[in-house]
A and B are shown apart, each in its own frame.
Chain A
Amino acid sequence: MSLYGLMAVFADPEALVEAARGMRERGYRRMDAFSPFQVKELEGILAIPKTRLPWAVLAGGIAGAALVYALLWYSVEVDYPINVGGRPLHSWPPFVVIAFEAGIMGAAFAGFVGVLAANGLPRYHHPVFNAESFSYARGGKFYLLIEAADPKYRKGVTKGQLTRLGAETVEEVEA
């Protein structure tokens, strides 16, 4: 069994933020934090890149609307044109209504599937679940993970640093 990283447990979000900042100042980069709700300060500290998912949502919306509009256009102009009293076949205002709904549908699917894909979910197992102390909910605790793959990682040193930054417990996590 190889080592995946060190999991430090903190009692409240402020302590987690402090520790994450401290570890980053010490040069650690391969870190992750786990919390029962979003802790906004972590985004800056962990340098989480701004997500490009909004573009995926936009693309999904445009694709949904365009595809459905094209389908309607094809059905009235190409596949089954019916001349009713000389009215235009391509009567766009009513088509916009359905295209709008399809656009919303496409955007919502793009967002939902996109966020799961970007987060690598669904995922059957992840090394952090090997940690004894890691229970997402039971304690309402806040966790900081330093990966063993981090270039700054030194077995005893990192553990001591985490403890000095206020970790309640520090645990080695198997990969």
Chain B
Amino acid sequence: MAEASANSPAVLRGRHDSREISGRIGSIVLNGRLPRHFWAAFFLCFLLVLLLLYSITYLIAVGVGAYGINMPVVWGTMISNFVWWIGIGHAGTLISAVLLLLRQPWRASINRFAEAMTLFAVAMAGLFPILHLGRPWFFYWLLPLPNVHMHWPQWRSPLVWDFAAIATYATVSLLFWYMGLLPDLAVLRDRASSKPAQLFYGILALGWRGSAYHWARYQVVYFLLAALATPLVVSVHSIVSLDFTFAITPGYHSTIFPPYFVAGALLSGFAMVLTIAIPLRWAFSVEDLITLRHMDNAAKLMIAAGMVVAYGYVSEAFFAWYSGKPYERAMMAQRALGPYATLFWTMIGLNCGVLQLLWFRRVRRNMPLLFAIAIAINIGMWIERYIIVVTGPSRDYLPSSWGEQSLTWLDFGILFGSIGTFFALVFLFIRILPAITIFEVEELAEEEGKLK
């Protein structure tokens, strides 16, 4: 720890005592007096929630043609939004589970909101495959329910695996998150001064009292859940990529997809972590708990994941050429030079070009610039998902049936509506639950000898 902090900033800055830590984090929730800009931002997000509700209603009333998909491109922004959102969720699991297993102490102050981010991102992601269905009200046919149709789902279809993977991921993320919240809910229960707050947090805390016997079991199972979440997160995005690779469409049918999708998920997920963390630490003045060290490490993980993604781009192009198939080669040439060339080169510029700025320490520790890069990567990764989904079917085997997807207002209405809903949920989460893990930060402060 000592030599590490010589050239990199400390995980926690300054000295803390546990009364101060729990008081400061708890009071964000219990005082309820949040700054005016918090509610202004929440209001803007709420407008986007309304936009999402309107767009979904319109989509269901009119049909999927309303958002610009048509033969031959029948997979449009609903699928790219889905892949994008799921990817964003993965960084949360990585921070909370993988870094826990690797015993990285710096995760403690950011794991809680990273897990919340996972939950909300998965909630958003789960909407899209359903909206993508022509008749969304039949989505439950993917479940093996005893029903009057006497049918079973097609177990050999990646779409059914996808359903199983997303359902499992959402459930396990929720359990892991709630379990991590238990001790902090007990802190809030004991600090709350109003009866409704005591009742609310008291019920949620399930009677947690911090007994040594309880802690011993709790930590074992918490580690086990982290160990379960780690293969799960890899399997989920791999299964998502199998939705594509199981098709013979040029541009989809590629063995690089599972690892390439997982790396892309981490890249976009860490970009989203920074997008939330940078304003959060500024707005609530918790720069000494979420320090430059966290930002720096997240930026480093971003560049690591980003280089794997860049490798994915290269190997995709290489194998299209090496396959010797004219269809694969034509698709790749059309992707770079055809109607989607502008988007393609924007994607390369953002995900491979702008990303390289993170090699410089001064860039990683410059918060406004890092925030701008994170936004750029978010956009770049959305474009990547869109390019993957759309360019393949648009340049299929028969040149006579080539065609493009046209983006309509509804595509953007649903995309920005989902982004607004995601942030509205994040705002509510910050208002209702402790956004920083109290007990782990206290433990960290104790271990670092920074507890008075």
Cβ of B165 to closest chain A Cβ, rounded Å:
5
Neighbouring A residues of B133 by C-beta, 8 Å: none
Neighbouring A residues of B152 by C-beta, 8 Å: 75-76, 79-80
Contact A48 B206 (CB under 8 A): no
Sorting the interface of chain A by its residue count into under 10, 10 to 19, 20 to 34 or 35 or more gives 35 or more
How many cross-chain pairs have Cβ atoms below 8 Å apart between A and B? 175
Contact A111 B225 (CB under 8 A): yes
When C-beta atoms are compared, the residue in chain B nearest to A91 turns out to be: B156
A143–B210 CA distance with the chains assembled, in angstroms: 10
Contact B168 A102 (CB under 8 A): yes
> Taking the complex as formed, is B17 at the interface, i.e. its CB lies under 8 A from any CB of chain A?
yes
Neighbouring B residues of A42 by C-beta, 8 Å: 212
- Residues of B160-207 at the interface with A, using a CB-CB cut-off of 8 Å, are 160-161, 164-165, 167-168, 171-172, 175-176, 178-179, 183, 186-191, 206-207
When C-beta atoms are compared, the residue in chain B nearest to A20 turns out to be: B212
> Taking the complex as formed, is B58 at the interface, i.e. its CB lies under 8 A from any CB of chain A?
no
> Taking the complex as formed, is A115 at the interface, i.e. its CB lies under 8 A from any CB of chain B?
yes
Cβ of A53 to closest chain B Cβ, rounded Å:
5
Neighbouring A residues of B217 by C-beta, 8 Å: 51, 53, 115, 118-119
> Taking the complex as formed, is A114 at the interface, i.e. its CB lies under 8 A from any CB of chain B?
yes
Neighbouring A residues of B187 by C-beta, 8 Å: 36, 136-137
Q: Known: A115-B217, A136-B190, A140-B18. Contact between A75 and B155, CB under 8 A?
A: yes
Neighbouring B residues of A128 by C-beta, 8 Å: 209
Q: Which of A92-100, A147-155, A158-166 contacts B (4 or more CB under 8 A)?
A: A92-100
> Taking the complex as formed, is B218 at the interface, i.e. its CB lies under 8 A from any CB of chain A?
yes
> Taking the complex as formed, is B411 at the interface, i.e. its CB lies under 8 A from any CB of chain A?
no
> Taking the complex as formed, is B440 at the interface, i.e. its CB lies under 8 A from any CB of chain A?
yes
A76–B446 CA distance with the chains assembled, in angstroms: 57
When C-beta atoms are compared, the residue in chain A nearest to B188 turns out to be: A137
Q: Known: A98-B161, A114-B221. Contact between A37 and B446, CB under 8 A?
A: yes
Chain B residues bordering chain A, tally (CB within 8 A): 61
Contact B239 A57 (CB under 8 A): no
Further pairs besides A34-B212, A51-B216: 4, Cβ < 8 Å: A36-B22, A80-B152, A109-B175, A112-B175
Neighbouring A residues of B216 by C-beta, 8 Å: 38, 43, 48, 51
> Taking the complex as formed, is B214 at the interface, i.e. its CB lies under 8 A from any CB of chain A?
yes
A interface residues with partner B (beta carbon < 8 Å): 12-13, 32-39, 42-43, 46, 48, 51, 53-54, 57, 61, 71-72, 75-76, 79-80, 91, 94-95, 97-98, 100-102, 104-105, 107-109, 111-112, 114-116, 118-119, 121-126, 128-129, 135-140
Jot down 18 A-B pairs with beta carbons below 8 A, ordered by A.
A34-B210, A35-B210, A37-B439, A37-B440, A38-B219, A75-B155, A76-B155, A80-B150, A98-B164, A101-B235, A104-B235, A105-B167, A105-B172, A112-B179, A114-B221, A119-B211, A119-B214, A140-B17
Neighbouring A residues of B239 by C-beta, 8 Å: 97
Neighbouring B residues of A115 by C-beta, 8 Å: 179, 217-218, 221
Q: Which of A38, A61, A76 has the most CB of B within 10 A?
A: A38
Contact B22 A121 (CB under 8 A): no
A72–B377 CA distance with the chains assembled, in angstroms: 41
Contact A100 B160 (CB under 8 A): no
Q: Which of B18, B188, B225, B446 has the most CB of A within 10 A?
A: B18
Contact A138 B228 (CB under 8 A): no
A94–B154 CA distance with the chains assembled, in angstroms: 10
